[in-house]
């Protein structure tokens, strides 16, 4: 078994791999990463199954679009962001408006990118959950006495009378912070703090506001609840966001994914889909860049369903279409943009830089939505020093079936990305929109 060099997403796994390494990577490639994925946004449809690692046609193993850590057979694979953790953190901040103090440049070797990324996701989860207040849940509390408090507990009262005790049993449901959800959140905050103690202040303002109140309810060192205890918690519509925060907190506090793994053959891990984050980053940049002339909607989580085909003899439809970004001008669709966290580069498998399936998908969007300006695929720009040729980008824009198509690599920084999106639509409108 060899020591595999640091693995980057969307990149080949380097090093001299042994037969044992190959067998281990084969086992990881068969695992569904969605079982270990930390969802960034609620209500997003589940994507098709894509492996964490896969063997390319060149015979080498390649990492997919997930970053994080997964442990199989007691051995851990860590996949780091190819573009750097600072870029990923900036995308998170832009997508959700997180404002965290800048971390110190001093990091211990044990403080991996994954813990920093988990801290960002956890801060956002807590902020979303506490938007309408603290997790005050109504918990049952039993009483025994001469008077009824709340609801009469008939069974317990009969038992007391059978024991010769002149008592009435009753139950009240009092609002309290002392429950498994609060304990999980406090335990997660402590676990993150222990691992990021030299990284400067990583907590957002909202976390710093609510955590002292939660600690007052359960103490500063509560026992981590079990998974079954969390599953038994009943939520109201107001407290439902705490279910997500509690689940993530439990996984962080129990060390799943970034602690030493078990050796039982079971897999465990924490994975973040960078494609989902890139999509949200481009969406938010488009909203800011195109306002107020255009209205930008998130097609992947929108309420309306659009289909490519409709039956001629019934109302049945087929081929649900949900482009990542739909740009409206008035009531009409001006542009559809699909964010692709992939390399836009010519290869032997992709002579023009664009995967054939993605090209067909974009044409389907254009056929269904008929954008007046452009249909586009948006890819992340590579790191400095990378100059990968892309025929689709170099010889664009493209036209077909009365529509204009473009394939663009967008800058990684917020301001530059906004400018690039604004210019992309401006350049198209100067060409009178749709081509005939």
**Which one has a higher pLDDT value, 399 or 388?**
399
pLDDT at 363 (0 to 100): 92
Q: Per the domain annotation, does 2 fall within a domain? A: no
Q: Are residues 302 and 397 in the same domain?
A: yes
Last residue of a domain, one of 248, 274, 300: 274
3-state secondary structure of 220: coil
Q: Are residues 92 and 159 in the same domain?
A: no
Average pLDDT on 344-357 reads: 89
pLDDT at 73 (0 to 100): 82
8-state DSSP, 73: T
What is the C-alpha separation between 358 and 102, in angstroms, rounded? 37
Q: Per the domain annotation, does 203 fall within a domain? A: yes
Q: Is the dihedral of CA 190, 196, 200, 205 positive or negative?
A: negative
What is the C-alpha separation between 19 and 16, in angstroms, rounded? 10
Q: Are residues 105 and 141 in the same domain?
A: no
What pLDDT, in 10s, does the model give residues 363-381?
999 988 999 999 999 999 9
For residue 306, what are the domain limits?
291-429
What is the C-alpha separation between 22 and 153, in angstroms, rounded? 62
Q: Are residues 158 and 118 in the same domain?
A: no
- Residue 110: pLDDT over 80: no
**Which one has a higher pLDDT value, 305 or 182?**
182
- Residue 301: pLDDT over 80: no
What is the C-alpha separation between 335 and 372, in angstroms, rounded? 7
Average pLDDT, the chain: 83
3-state secondary structure of 415: helix
Determine contact, residues 246/231, Cβ cutoff 8 Å.
Answer: no
Which residue has tokens 């001629």?
312
Q: Are residues 247 and 312 in the same domain?
A: no
pLDDT band with cut points at 50, 70 and 90 for residue 2: low
pLDDT at 45 (0 to 100): 57
What pLDDT, in 10s, does the model give residues 238-264?
888 899 899 999 988 987 655 544 444
pLDDT at 70 (0 to 100): 87
Report the range of poorest mean pLDDT among 66-80, 203-217, 254-268, 386-400: 254-268
**Which one has a higher pLDDT value, 251 or 105?**
251
The number of residues making up the chain comes to 436
Q: Per the domain annotation, does 280 fall within a domain? A: no
SS (H, E, C) 9-53: CCCECCCCCCHHHHHHHHHHHCCCHHHCECCCCCCCCCCCCCCCE
The alpha-carbon radius of gyration of the chain (Å, integer) is 26
**For residue 123, which of 229, 181, 209 has the smallest C-alpha distance?**
209
**Which one has a higher pLDDT value, 151 or 427?**
151
Q: Per the domain annotation, does 183 fall within a domain? A: yes
Determine contact, residues 43/114, Cβ cutoff 8 Å.
Answer: no
Last residue of a domain, one of 244, 274, 304: 274
CA of residue 395 relative to chain centroid, distance: 34
pLDDT at 175 (0 to 100): 81
**For residue 126, which of 43, 54, 182, 47 has the smallest C-alpha distance?**
182
What is the C-alpha separation between 3 and 198, in angstroms, rounded? 28
pLDDT band with cut points at 50, 70 and 90 for residue 284: very high
What is the C-alpha separation between 152 and 170, in angstroms, rounded? 4
What is the C-alpha separation between 428 and 372, in angstroms, rounded? 10
Determine contact, residues 338/311, Cβ cutoff 8 Å.
Answer: no
Report the range of poorest mean pLDDT among 243-247, 257-261, 314-318, 329-333: 257-261
Q: Are residues 333 and 192 in the same domain?
A: no
**Structure-token pair, residue 37:** 């994925």
Q: Are residues 83 and 159 in the same domain?
A: no
pLDDT at 261 (0 to 100): 47
Strand partners, 55: 61
Last residue of a domain, one of 149, 176, 203: 176
**For residue 337, which of 402, 406, 393, 430 has the smallest C-alpha distance?**
406
pLDDT at 47 (0 to 100): 61
Average pLDDT on 156-182 reads: 87
pLDDT at 44 (0 to 100): 57
Q: Are residues 94 and 222 in the same domain?
A: yes
pLDDT at 108 (0 to 100): 38
pLDDT at 145 (0 to 100): 87
pLDDT band with cut points at 50, 70 and 90 for residue 42: low
Report the range of poorest mean pLDDT among 16-30, 162-176, 203-217: 162-176
What is the C-alpha separation between 79 and 8, in angstroms, rounded? 5
Determine contact, residues 325/336, Cβ cutoff 8 Å.
Answer: yes
pLDDT at 412 (0 to 100): 92
3-state secondary structure of 312: coil
What is the C-alpha separation between 65 and 421, in angstroms, rounded? 23
**Cβ-based neighbours of 356, under 8 Å, separated by 6 or more:** 350
Q: Per the domain annotation, does 160 fall within a domain? A: yes
Strand partners, 21: none
- Residue 214: pLDDT over 70: yes
pLDDT band with cut points at 50, 70 and 90 for residue 147: confident
Which residue has tokens 């079936």?
401
Q: Are residues 205 and 81 in the same domain?
A: yes
What pLDDT, in 10s, does the model give residues 111-138?
467 788 888 889 989 998 998 889 888 7
pLDDT at 104 (0 to 100): 43
- Residue 386: pLDDT over 90: no
First to last CA, the chain: 60
pLDDT band with cut points at 50, 70 and 90 for residue 222: very high
Total number of domains in the chain: 3
Q: Are residues 382 and 244 in the same domain?
A: no
Q: Are residues 167 and 114 in the same domain?
A: no
Determine contact, residues 214/137, Cβ cutoff 8 Å.
Answer: no
- Residue 100: pLDDT over 80: no
pLDDT at 199 (0 to 100): 58
3-state secondary structure of 170: strand
- Residue 265: pLDDT over 70: no
pLDDT band with cut points at 50, 70 and 90 for residue 317: confident
Q: Are residues 172 and 183 in the same domain?
A: no
| Percent composition of the chain: helix, strand, coil (DSSP 3-state, to 5) | 35, 20, 45
- Residue 106: pLDDT over 50: no
């Amino acid at each position: 078994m060899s020591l595999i060099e640091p693995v980057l997403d969307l990149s080949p796994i380097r090093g001299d791999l042994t037969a044992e390494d190959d067998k281990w990577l084969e086992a990881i490639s068969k695992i569904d990463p969605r079982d270990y994925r930390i969802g960034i946004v609620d209500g997003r449809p589940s994507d098709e199954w894509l492996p964490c690692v896969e063997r390319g046609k060149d015979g080498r193993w390649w990492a997919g679009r997930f970053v994080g850590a997964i442990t199989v057979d007691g051995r851990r694979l860590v996949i780091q962001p190819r573009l750097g953790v600072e870029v990923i953190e900036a995308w998170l901040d832009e997508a959700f408006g997180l404002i965290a103090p800048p971390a110190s440049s001093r990091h211990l070797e044990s403080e991996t990118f994954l813990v920093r990324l988990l801290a960002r996701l956890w801060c956002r989860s807590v902020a979303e959950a506490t938007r309408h207040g603290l997790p005050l849940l109504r918990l049952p509390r039993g009483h025994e006495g001469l008077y009824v408090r709340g609801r009469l507990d008939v069974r317990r009262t009969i038992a007391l009378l059978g024991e010769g005790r002149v008592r009435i049993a009753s139950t009240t449901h009092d609002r309290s912070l002392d429950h498994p959800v609060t304990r999980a959140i406090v335990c997660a905050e402590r676990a993150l703090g222990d691992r990021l103690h030299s990284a400067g202040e990583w907590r957002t303002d909202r976390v710093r506001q609510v955590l002292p109140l939660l600690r007052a309810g359960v103490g500063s060192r509560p026992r981590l609840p079990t998974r079954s205890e969390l599953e038994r918690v009943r939520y109201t519509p107001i407290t439902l966001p705490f279910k997500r925060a509690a689940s993530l907190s439990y996984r962080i506090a129990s060390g799943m994914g970034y602690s030493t793994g078990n050796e039982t053959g079971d897999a465990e891990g924490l994975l973040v889909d960078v494609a989902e984050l890139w999509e949200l980053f481009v969406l938010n940049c488009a909203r800011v860049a195109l306002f107020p002339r255009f209205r930008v909607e998130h097609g992947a989580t929108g309420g309306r369903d659009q289909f490519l085909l409709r039956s001629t003899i019934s109302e049945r439809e087929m081929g649900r279409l949900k482009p990542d970004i739909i740009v409206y001008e008035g009531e009409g669709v001006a542009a559809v943009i699909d964010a692709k966290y992939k390399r836009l580069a010519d290869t032997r498998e992709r002579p023009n830089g664009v995967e054939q399936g993605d090209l067909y998908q974009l044409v389907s969007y254009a056929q269904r939505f008929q954008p007046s300006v452009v249909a586009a695929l948006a890819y992340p720009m590579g790191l400095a020093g990378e100059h990968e040729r892309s025929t689709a980008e170099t010889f664009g824009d493209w036209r077909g079936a009365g529509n204009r198509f473009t394939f663009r690599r967008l800058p990684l920084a917020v301001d530059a990305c906004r400018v690039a999106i604004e210019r992309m639509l401006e350049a198209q409108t100067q060409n009178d929109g749709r081509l005939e």
